[in-house]
Amino acid sequence: MKTLLLAFDSFKGSLTSHEVADAFEEGVCSVLPDCTVKKVCLADGGEGTAEALVSTLGGEWMEVEVADPLMRPIRARYGVVDDGRTAIIEMASASGLTLLKEEERTPLKTSTYGTGQLIADALKRGCRKLLIGIGGSATNDAGTGMLSALGFRFLDAEGKSLDGCGESLGRIVSIDSSCILPALKSVEICVACDVANPFCGSLGAAHIFAPQKGADKQMVERLDRGMHHFAEVIRQYNKVDVVGLPGAGAAGGLGGAFSAFLGASLCWGVELVLDALHFDELLKGCDLVVTGEGRIDRQTLMGKAPVGVLKAATRQGIPVIAIGGSVEQSPELSQSGFSSILSINAEGLPLHLAMRPDVARENVRRMGEKVGMAIR
């Protein structure tokens, strides 16, 4: 009797991780009724990470009123797992770009304060480990908004508190941490950070990401000057140099703030997810792993969920098949180590039909049948 582990990311815009796994299981079990199927929902640290982890680990959701990127009240949620000890937070739920209309996007004004409020709520509930995804931000405040919500104060030359936003960075002279939440001293924070950009400079937060958030050229230059200035203030404050730290520029400098002020570890998102799911344990006893995402291309090899699955399974000598809605043929993919990389869609199927949930589900089910017949 074969044991299969199904470990899918979502097929974005079409099927959730759950739906992909259920459809594939239906197909493979129609051919191999005696096989054992284990299923786990995956994400790569970006959108959907909290959903995948809370669902798979049997956690619960907490809803909180927080500030959106422009400090307006909204409802946001985060997950709690591990009997209340671990919180899973997506900063985009409070500080994400999708919360703003296009004309509202201005990284001089936007703040991560709401993300700090989510963290504060989790700490007050007794969580002592935080898993945080920082993709999709609307901000370039170097984390000062988030830190302000946790009790840090950023002071100007006159000793007045500054708002935690991008336009304040160049005016910060000193940092007061006397009123930070006590629980911060004993919390473990792991941040899913899937970019290696430094804090500032030509490859830093402002130059690379701020234009996507509404910044024009002048705004980018002002933000980058502010980031350079704030990096020097940090160095004077706690001797930490964030300028060249890989990942420090993620989410408008939020990665650097987590590392420099809260001692967080910055890791690839899929590694954080697999570790939280105890994926190595799930692999034990499996004969085959099937993974996949909506589109499989060269980007898949740059830290996406399927390649994380491949690496983990390869360490235990288990073959891995990858399936996707569309598959790009390339030497990199063919040499990546997957036993097979398969598209669920017939050649020539129009995209608008392929993306329909009912069509995608049926095609995943049929792929399950095909894989089952190959095994049999």
Condensed to tens digits (0 to 9), the pLDDT of residues 192-201 reads: 987 889 999 9
Residue 14 sits in the same domain as residue 64: no
SS (H, E, C) the chain: CCEEEEEECCECCCECHHHHHHHHHHHHHHHCCCCEEEEEECCCCCCCHHHHHHHHHCCEEEEEEEECCCCCEEEEEEEEECCCCEEEEECHHHHEHHHCCHHHCCCCCCCCHHHHHHHHHHHHCCCCEEEEECCCECCCCCCHHHHHHCCCEEECCCCCECCCCHHHHHHCCEEECCCCCHHHHHCEEEEECCCCCCCCCCCCHHHHHHHHHCCCHHHHHHHHHHHHHHHHHHHHHHCCCCCCCCCCCHHHHHHHHHHHHHCCEEECHHHHHHHHCCHHHHHCCCCEEEEEEEEECHHHHCCCHHHHHHHHHHHCCCCEEEEEEEECCCHHHHCCCCCEEEECCCCCCCHHHHCCHHHHHHHHHHHHHHHHHHHC
| 81 & 176 share domain | yes
Are residues 189 and 100 part of one domain?
A: yes
* pLDDT > 90: percent of the chain: 81
Same domain? 139 vs 239: yes
Number of domains making up the chain: 2
Q: Are residues 235 and 136 in the same domain?
A: yes
- The mean pLDDT value for 88-102 works out to 96
Q: Does 157 share its domain with 90?
A: yes
In this prediction, residue 123 carries a pLDDT of: 98
In the prediction, which pLDDT does 193 show?
A: 84
Domain boundary among 270, 287, 322: 270
Based on the fold, state whether residues 9 and 105 are members of the same structural domain: no
Residues 9 and 78 in one domain: no
pLDDT value of position 48: 79
Do residues 62 and 211 share a domain? yes
pLDDT band at 366 (very low <50, low <70, confident <90, very high): very high
Report pLDDT for 55.
85
Tell me what pLDDT residue 165 has: 98
Residues 245 and 306 in one domain: no
pLDDT tens digits, residue range 315-359? 999 999 999 998 988 888 889 999 999 999 988 888 889 999 999
Which of 270, 302, 318 lies at the terminal end of a domain, its last residue?
A: 270
CATH at 65: 3.90.1510.10
Is the pLDDT at 35 greater than 90? The verdict is yes
19 and 140 part of one domain? no
CATH code of residue 34: 3.40.50.10350
Domain boundary among 233, 255, 270: 270
What domain range is 155 assigned to?
A: 49-270
User: Are 196 and 282 contained in the same domain?
Assistant: no
pLDDT for 235-280, tens place per residue?
A: 999 999 999 899 999 999 999 999 999 999 999 888 999 999 999 9
% of the chain residues with pLDDT over 70: 100
